[in-house]
Structure 1
């Protein structure tokens, strides 16, 4: 029987892994527990590649080797299993996983993606490669709202791929845009991968979310730039949209007064006061005018709110510097025992920081009890002056006026270009894009700005998913039942993975495998850059046969203890890993995104064409990793600004 290429690749890789371990063990002077740990690691990878369930393979292999590490003591082995399971189930951070997954399934079933894709590709009709660019935008937004890679790739394969092929797009470019865009949910918050990494590496999920925001946008931006460049260099791969696909039919009431009007706002104002509204209800005109004025009202609200924030007087920062320290010092002096305190006369004769307290210089300090009159005097005189100075409003900084001017220019350009065709597209965006963005900003904003924990924000997101499904009349008992079932299935898989990972990591540590790996890495005398390069290359290669869940739960407990030796921030390392693990869904032969797309694509689209389309986007991922390493501020600026 002739085997397929991917099977030959998998069997060859498994043979290389086993051969490498055999060479290491044969060359060793004596087989130690550390060598058994490396054997366990190799067997885990081979068993997963053969198709055994990851979670139960981890648990089974971990139990067997724990039993060997404990010298065949069954009682200690079972105790370790129970303790590992309890430690995982008592982790509060993991509660957010089922809530985020439930939100994703509800948003998916609200059928927003079709409206979102249609409105985005109409809004970008003049951009080269507009269908592919709209596909990437839709995938990025929808991946942020759902985080479920398979669902995004499948839905976009059903929705966008037929339109791109019908418009003459190259099969490889179309497949690459869909698979790469669908995988953005691995990186862009609220990502389940970041939660799993945070729980495994002991890193704050809140800081990971803040750090992954800009790298995710950067990767999506690189994808879009690549697609536009391909469309410009090779127009045959991404031809412009046909005229009939660019136009939007106007409502009958709007068409009666919109004929010949180039801009919507002046035409609406003229129709309200002129004869052109004779056959159009005034209510319809007012409704259209209110929609047109929404950006202006939003701009005014943001400008006024930002002005109040940047000009608000700062009282808390000034008050302690003036009188607060005197009060604290007096109160502390009153509480201290006489033997530990400085003499009252000396303390009043040499005041700590202000000339006013030196007047009067003498008798008051001797006759008054320590901390009474001086403290009262300081509390009345100096803080009053500080409060008066702090009450004065600050002047707005230059950055505020620059932002205000930029927004005004953008607003003027919006109204100058707003025709009635664009108004209809804007209304479509209002009904598809902005509800999703509101949900996303509510969830991520509450996490990033410290208003809620990830678990609380996930609960808000789940409620928002229910409200969105209800608003679009897609909420039914069947939808909720299916979403709950899929959420339970996904959450159980993740939790069992954590249990298996905890047992495996404990067995690996008991056998001394971690110590053996650490000694080997340190013996190489690597620099920080060399270690980072080696670790990312290993993770990149592991992304070929393994999925991201297996890489995180199996190999991160091995890598993370090594970070302190090289001075690497676990937060920054996690961001690099999240970028790198995009390859787990885009690299053959496992490349699950390719199989998701193949399952819904037309018969003439082959798996090799999909793989070929994904390769350029894998190269872009490598460029994104290099940019993040060269400029760490891309990922670390926001966490440092907000939390450090």
Structure 2
């Protein structure tokens, strides 16, 4: 019976590789194994009686209400030309210097990541807006595609990230399970606000790394990152001053981000309430840009419903899978495996990070969050790891996985919108320095966990 949980996990991965939908794969594999287990007497059917209460808990979860609202906010900002205006203004400001367009892309990607929180949306938007200009002005295709892919994945770590919202909910449940197993009865949980606070310093460090890399390339290989003149930037009115362009493009999205993120970090609003503010703010910004049309609103609402439905269907399938997995003794199997592993907590953490990194090649962050994290997180938390630190490490690890050739999702997103002048090999080579920077950040956070835990402790005590 001990091998059945492992067989379940392998079966799910194989079926997903064949191409079946994630939610139905998780639920279907779980039900098939449960049926066989009941027939052979290796599975107790009473475990399935807990499913209705678990699904009700999903439906009644206030934190998860933030998901459709943040998705709506990001989709509306994407279609309201906020990113396009911001990129034009920042390119005009920074383009006078070698590598300036790369720095502009980094800053806009950071703001767009904080606005949308979705990796795919940020990579595609930045690819469509900035890549043609960079290639046209003589930027090295490897540098251009690398910086776009890297900044696009910032949506994984920079709050208010949807990945952090989902991670916060899952880690909160895992933390409570770990406490109960250790005989600790405490109402303390892991809040999404704490996870957002823990992500601020690592996220800003990553942005700083990218900008320093742009400066280094400008110093040592200036021909790869030439200057960009005002006439080279499309969509810029020649009669408008730089100050007016910067003010008009930068202030509205900055105010929205500060309102949403600030209200969460300083405790004025829950993530769900702040997401509501963000959704309304996105509508107001779209109206001010003259983009609040019936066509745009219809496209945004349809996109929101599709993404939200996908998230919750996967969550339901993952709940059923984890229930059957535990019914077969999978949690005890994982716990025993980690305890016997050489290296203790360090060895267990390294193995989990490696597994999550490899799974990032074939699974999206939503599947990994709902399937893998509930299995391994309680065991790691029982071994003494800080839940906020663990959550940020997982988020950055997945961000690195999505950037790594040959299977990184960000590479596929950019390949889909890049013109034929850019080779796939250019994309693969371009991301290598940024993968190195993200690995450097992971090492820094492992050596100095206070980079993650300091701000949450200051703000939340």
TM-score normalised by structure 1 residue count = 0.66
Distance 1:478 1:249 in 2: 26
1:69–1:75 distance in 2 versus 1, CA, 3 Å:
closer
Work out which of the residue numbers 463, 469, 474 in structure 1 matches 2:291.
474
2-structure distance, mates of 1:246, 1:99: 33
Deviation for aligned residue 1:434? 1.0
For 1:154, the equivalent position in structure 2 comes to: 124
The farther-off stretch of 151-160 and 93-102 is 151-160
Partner of 1:566: 383
Paired residue for 2:73?
103
- CA distance in 2 between partners of 1:485 and 1:467 (Å): 19
Residue 236 in structure 1 maps to residue 206 in structure 2: no
> What SS is found at the alignment partner of 2:225?
coil
Question: Which position in structure 1 is the counterpart of 2:186?
Answer: none
SS at match of 2:262: helix
> 2:207 corresponds to which residue?
220
**Match status 1:178 vs 2:148:** yes
Corresponding position of 2:23: 55
Q: CA deviation at 1:149?
A: 2.0
SS at match of 1:493: helix
Residues 563 and 569, structure 1, Cα contact 8 Å, conserved in 2: no
Q: Give SS of 2:255's match.
A: helix
**Matches for 1:562-641 after TM superposition, within 5 Å:** 562-641=379-458
Give the aligned partner of residue 175 of structure 2. Answer: none
Cα offsets for 1:1-50 (capped at 9, x unmatched):
xxxxxxxxxxxxxxxxxxxxxxxxxxxxxxx1x21110001111121122
Separation of aligned partners in 1, 2:90 and 2:13: 42
For residues 442-482 of structure 1, the C-alpha deviation after alignment (integer angstroms, 9 at most, x for no partner) is 00010010000110000011100110000111001221111
Once the two structures are superposed, the pairs formed by residues 306-317 of structure 1 within 5 Å of their partners are none
Tell me if the contact between 1:63 and 1:77 (Cα under 8 Å) persists in the aligned partners: no
Corresponding residue for residue 180 of structure 2: none
Give the drift of 1:74: 10
After superposition, what is the alpha-carbon deviation per residue over 1:90-113, rounded to whole angstroms, capped at 9, x for unaligned? 211110000000011111111011
Alignment of 1:494-505 (within 5 A): 494-505=311-322
1:66 match: 34
1:508 alignment partner, one of 283, 307, 325: 325
Matched, 1:92 2:59: no
**What does residue 84 of structure 2 align with?**
114
C-alpha deviation, 1:123, in angstroms: 1.4
SS across alignment from 2:417? coil
Deviates more, 1:156-165 or 1:538-547: 538-547
Structure 2: which 5+ runs fail to align? 173-189
Matches within 5 A, 1:500-539: 500-539=317-356
Instruction: Find the aligned partners of 1:244 and 1:564 in 2 and give their Cα distance.
Output: 56
How many residue pairs get aligned? The number is: 441
Asked if 2 retains the 8 angstrom alpha-carbon contact of 1:66 and 1:77, the reply is no
Could you give the per-residue CA deviations for residues 47-81 of structure 1, whole angstroms, max 9, x where no partner exists? 11222111110111112223344457897576344
Q: Which has the larger radius of gyration?
A: 1
Tell me the secondary structure at the aligned position of residue 581 of structure 1: helix
Which range moves more in the overlay, 215-224 or 436-445?
215-224
Instruction: Tell me the secondary structure at the aligned position of residue 582 of structure 1.
Output: helix
Does the 8 Å CA contact 1:63/1:81 hold for their aligned counterparts? no
Query: What secondary structure, in the 3-state scheme, does the structure 2 residue paired with 1:586 have?
Result: coil
Cα distance between partner residues in 1 of 2:50 and 2:406: 36
Cα drift, residue 126 of structure 1: 4.1
Between the aligned partners of 2:378 and 2:117, the Cα distance in structure 1 is 28
Distance in structure 2 (CA, Å) of the matches to 1:515 and 1:624: 32
Q: Aligned partners of 2:419, 2:114: CA distance in 1, in Å? A: 27
Distance 1:635 1:142 in 2: 22
2:272 & 2:208 partners in 1: Cα distance?
29
* C-alpha displacement of 1:500: 1.1
TM-superposed CA distance for 1:609, in Å, is 1.8
Which position in structure 2 is the counterpart of 1:138? 108
Give the alignment partner of residue 44 of structure 1, picking from 9, 12, 15.
12
